[in-house]
Amino acid sequence: MESTPPATLGVMDSHEQTRPTTPSSLFEGIGVALVTLFDEHGDLLAEATAEHAARLVDLGVNGVLVAGSTGEASALTDDERVELVRQVRAALPAHIPVFVGTGQPSARAAVITSMRAVDNGADALLVLSPPRSSDSRPYYEAIAAACPSTPILAYHFPAVSSPGIEVDTLCSLPVAGCKDSSGDAARLLDEVQRFHGALYVGNPVLLALAGILAIQGAILAVANLDPALCHRAIKGDAEAQIAVAGLQQLTAAGFPRVIKQELHKRFGTATGARLG
Quick one: pLDDT at residue 16? Answer: 37
Quick one: pLDDT at residue 39? Answer: 98
Residue 24 pLDDT > 50: yes
CB-CB contact of 129 with 143 (8 Å): no
Question: pLDDT averaged over the chain?
Answer: 92
The residue extents of the domains of the chain are 29-264
Residue 194 pLDDT > 90: yes
Write the CATH number of the domain with boundaries 29-264: 3.20.20.70
**pLDDT tens digits, 216-263:** 999 999 999 999 999 999 999 999 999 999 999 999 999 999 999 999
| Active-site annotation holds for 155 | yes
| Active-site annotation holds for 265 | no
**pLDDT tens digits, 251-274:** 999 999 999 999 999 999 999 999
Residue 253 Cα to chain centre, angstroms: 20
**pLDDT tens digits, 114-142:** 999 999 999 999 999 999 998 999 999 99
SS3 38: strand
Q: What is the percent of the chain with per-residue pLDDT over 90, rounded to a whole number? A: 90
CB-CB contact of 215 with 17 (8 Å): no
Beta strand 177-180 with 63-66 is unpaired
Annotated binding site for pyruvate: 70, 219
Q: Which residues contact 93 (CB under 8 A, 6 or more apart)?
A: 57
Integer distance in angstroms from the first to the last C-alpha of the chain?
Answer: 63
Residues shown for the chain: 276
Cα dihedral 78→82→88→94 (10° resolution) = 140
Whole-angstrom distance, CA of residue 218 vs CA of residue 177: 12
Annotated binding site: 70, 219
Identified catalytic residue from 139, 140, 155, 200 = 155
* Global confidence as pTM: 0.91
**pLDDT tens digits, 76-111:** 999 999 999 999 999 999 999 999 999 999 999 999
Work out the angle between the directed axes of helices 78-91 and 46-58 (0-180°, nearest 10).
Answer: 40
Identified catalytic residue from 179, 200, 235, 260 = 179
- Tell which residue, 51, 172, 175, 205, has the closest CA to residue 103: 175
Whole-angstrom distance, CA of residue 122 vs CA of residue 153: 13
Give DSSP secondary structure letters for 196-223.
-SEEEESSGGGHHHHHHTT-SEEEESGG
CB atoms near residue 167 (< 10 Å):
16
